Amino acid sequence: MQLSKIIDPRTERRRCVLRRKPVDVNGVTDYHTEVDLITHLGTHVEAPNHHGTLTKDVTDLPVDHFIGRGVLLHLDTCEPNALITRADLETADRGRVRRGDVLVLDSRFHSEPFVHNPHDQRPHLSRESAEWFLAKGVKAVGFGDGICIENNVEHCVACHDILLGHDILFLEVLKNINLLQTEIFLISYLPLPIKGLDSSPVNILVLEGVPGFSA
């Protein structure tokens, strides 16, 4: 299962420009493509140096930081536009989350992320939720159009301070969460191995039913 947004440079709002150029190789015409994009393009993983004075980029983290046991948490108790609470997370968790897990969050409310919508009712990541993630020892927190991080500046900053400050990564703009058949799975999201990247587009893959990666 793929949980990443398919990027079309013709319609993408964020920077994504492809320049395809012919290259002569011993009389044969091949093609190379110059890629000009923003690191926070489509579905992406954010490293610590995305925020403030933190310095670790995507290559400073061990490779096992980008693969692991995924747990889907349906935050069904969240009210419209509410801050996500410890109680919401505990109710969704039911004691399943382990140290080193990768969380995928969803709710009853959906709206395209990073696009103004006066009818947006998504619940917001909060300082309290970030402290819960930290206490659980997870290594990444992902979400699609069912969770909001961008509209409450105070809690957005607190989440970045707490999570990225402890090498807990953000996975943003996930797709196809509703197509998952299980709530525990193997998940991977490898960034481009380029020094200095604060974030990288990723192709998030989920494998369900893998021995050792189930309830």
Per-position pLDDT tens, the chain of length 215? 999 999 999 999 999 999 999 999 999 999 999 999 999 999 999 999 999 999 999 999 999 999 999 999 999 999 999 999 999 999 999 999 999 999 999 999 999 999 999 999 999 999 999 999 999 999 999 999 999 999 999 999 999 999 999 999 999 999 999 999 999 999 999 999 999 999 999 999 999 999 988 77
Cβ proximity of 145 and 112 under 8 Å: yes
Strands 169-172 and 44-46: antiparallel
Looking at the DSSP assignment, which residues form a beta bridge with residue 37?
Answer: 16
Looking at the DSSP assignment, which residues form a beta bridge with residue 172?
Answer: 44, 143
Fill in the DSSP letter of residue 7: P
- State how far the alpha carbon of 101 is from the alpha carbons of 31, 35, 159, 202, in Å: 41, 33, 18, 18
Give the pTM: 0.95
Domains (range + CATH), the chain? 39-207 (3.50.30.50)
